């Protein structure tokens, strides 16, 4: 208790000394305050810092001078992301820690407790909501997707704008609900799960440890391959037998999918995957026309055999290049399929696996997809329902926080890679997003 009180006092002194000349003193959003104690935040490793969160009751304003009532304590913090690190507004990964530097679970802003979190920095997405929108839609479809809380962030006395606190994709009952897999579990049912794998650049999380698919992408112009990264167990924990198992399982799935009997409901691809999860994953990437869809930041997980044992697609991740925010490879146009990316941009180094075109050659898969789409369009993905959510987010941000954010980061009215549309105001960006979503849904129908 004494340490927390001292930390609270220290963070308040930092704010008083640094924010006198700035206009940010309070918010309708929760406020996160971080003090790195003079250290620079690196890509890796995490540095130890102090963090406090002010989150008063609903309808009660959050003031910088209020006590830290949601969290006050140590964190580890680092830069995160790939391309996003190059933007002036930096995204961060944080780990809640005890005084000794060990990770401790914390229920930040009412979210289920865990120690790993993301402070996402919307920068080139000037609607400030493409990722939050995608994850919201994913959850309403009955799939786990990272829960989101909008905040305003102060680091070392400097106002940094609107951020979104996201759950990091992790194995956990409240996140990716698969069995724990320890290094000693190398045989029998224990060996069969759970696993989380990611299709991404080798420079992604996991230190680049993974393997190349034996099946090249279609329409490749060079020698592009599909790369799988070990996400859970992480590369420093996974042992040879576990690597061998998950590689073989995915290879067996790909072999079955590529084979002449791939449509066989017993011995074809359906033997290895949860088909419904693949359908929902396809729908989300097509609704958003996610430029990275299927080929980057693409997660899949496998359950233990005693829990069904199949591969599930997801959780969905990284949609800031979705919903018409991209000016290359026709991805800003509300027409066209993302799974056909390779036909348009076969010279891109990161291509879509052959899976999706092949799955759509199976009438049973197409019929299930059509039925699911029609069901969702009558409810969760009804255009008016989606637009209502967009308006609800815009209303909260329009109270005041978006104005401060764009004063800190004056990107409105100017091109930021890879913008397709450039709005002069936040509301123009929101209106354009709504129009794009409407046109996209109509085209997909």
Q: What is the pLDDT of residues 367-399, one digit of tens each?
A: 999 999 999 999 999 999 999 999 999 999 998
Alpha-carbon distance of 432 to 304, in angstroms, equals: 44
- For 87, other C-beta atoms within 10 Å of its C-beta total 17
Q: From 198, 376, 187, 211, select the one nearest 279 (Cα to Cα).
A: 376
Task: Give the pLDDT confidence score for residue 81 in this predicted structure.
Answer: 83
Which backbone phi and psi does 187 adopt, to 5 degrees?
A: -155, 165
Q: What local confidence, expressed as pLDDT, does residue 86 receive?
A: 86
pLDDT band for position 20 (50/70/90)? very low
Which residues are CB-neighbours of 152 under 8 A, at least 6 positions away? Answer: 24, 27, 29, 30, 31, 32, 159, 161, 162, 163, 401, 404, 405
Reduced to 3 states (helix: H, G, I; strand: E, B; else coil), residue 16 is helix
pLDDT confidence tier of residue 275, bands split at 50, 70 and 90 = very high
Residue-wise pLDDT for 131-145, tens only, equals 999 999 999 999 999
Q: Residue 148: how many CB atoms within 10 A of its CB? A: 22
- Whether the predicted pLDDT of 426 surpasses 50: yes
Q: Mean per-residue pLDDT for 297-306?
A: 98
């Amino acid at each position: 208790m004494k340490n927390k009180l001292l930390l609270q006092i220290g963070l308040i002194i930092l704010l008083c000394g640094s924010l006198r000349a700035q206009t940010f003193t309070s918010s309708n959003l929760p406020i996160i305050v971080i003090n790195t104690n003079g250290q620079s935040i690196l890509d890796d490793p995490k540095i130890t810092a102090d963090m406090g969160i002010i989150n008063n009751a609903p309808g009660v304003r959050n003031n910088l001078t209020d006590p830290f009532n949601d969290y006050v304590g140590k964190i580890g913090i680092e830069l995160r992301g790939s391309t996003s690190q190059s933007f002036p507004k930096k995204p961060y990964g944080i780990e809640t820690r005890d005084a000794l530097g060990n990770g401790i679970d914390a229920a930040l802003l009412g979210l289920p407790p865990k120690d790993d979190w993301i402070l996402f920095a919307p920068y080139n997405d000037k609607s400030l909501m493409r990722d939050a929108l995608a994850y919201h839609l994913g959850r309403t479809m009955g799939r786990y997707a990272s829960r989101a809380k909008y905040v305003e962030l102060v680091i070392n006395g400097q106002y940094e704008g609107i951020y979104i606190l996201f759950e990091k994709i992790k194995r956990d009952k409240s996140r990716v609900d698969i069995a724990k897999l320890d290094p000693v579990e190398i045989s029998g049912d224990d060996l069969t799960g759970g696993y989380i794998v990611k299709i991404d650049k080798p420079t992604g999380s996991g230190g680049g440890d993974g393997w190349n698919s034996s099946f090249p992408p279609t329409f490749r112009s060079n020698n592009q391959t599909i790369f799988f990264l070990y996400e859970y167990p992480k590369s420093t924990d996974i042992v040879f037998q576990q690597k061998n198992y998950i590689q073989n399982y995915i290879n067996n799935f790909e072999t079955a999918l590529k084979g002449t009997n791939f449509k066989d409901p017993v011995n074809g691809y359906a033997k290895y995957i949860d088909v419904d999860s693949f359908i929902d994953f396809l729908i989300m990437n097509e609704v958003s026309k996610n430029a990275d869809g299927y080929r980057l930041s693409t997660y899949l997980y496998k359950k233990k055999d005693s829990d069904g044992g199949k591969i599930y697609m997801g959780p969905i991740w990284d949609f800031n290049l979705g919903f018409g925010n991209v000016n290359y490879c026709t991805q800003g146009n509300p027409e066209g399929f993302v799974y056909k990316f390779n036909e348009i941009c076969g010279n891109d180094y990161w291509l879509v696996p052959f899976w999706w075109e092949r799955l759509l050659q199976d009438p049973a898969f197409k019929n299930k997809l059509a039925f699911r789409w029609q069901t969702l369009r009558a409810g969760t993905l009804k255009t008016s329902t989606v637009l209502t959510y967009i308006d609800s987010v815009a209303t909260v941000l329009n109270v005041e926080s978006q104005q401060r954010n764009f004063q800190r980061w004056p990107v409105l009215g100017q091109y930021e890679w890879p913008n397709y549309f450039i709005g002069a105001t936040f509301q123009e960006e929101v209106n354009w997003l709504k129009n794009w979503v409407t046109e996209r849904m109509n085209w997909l129908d």
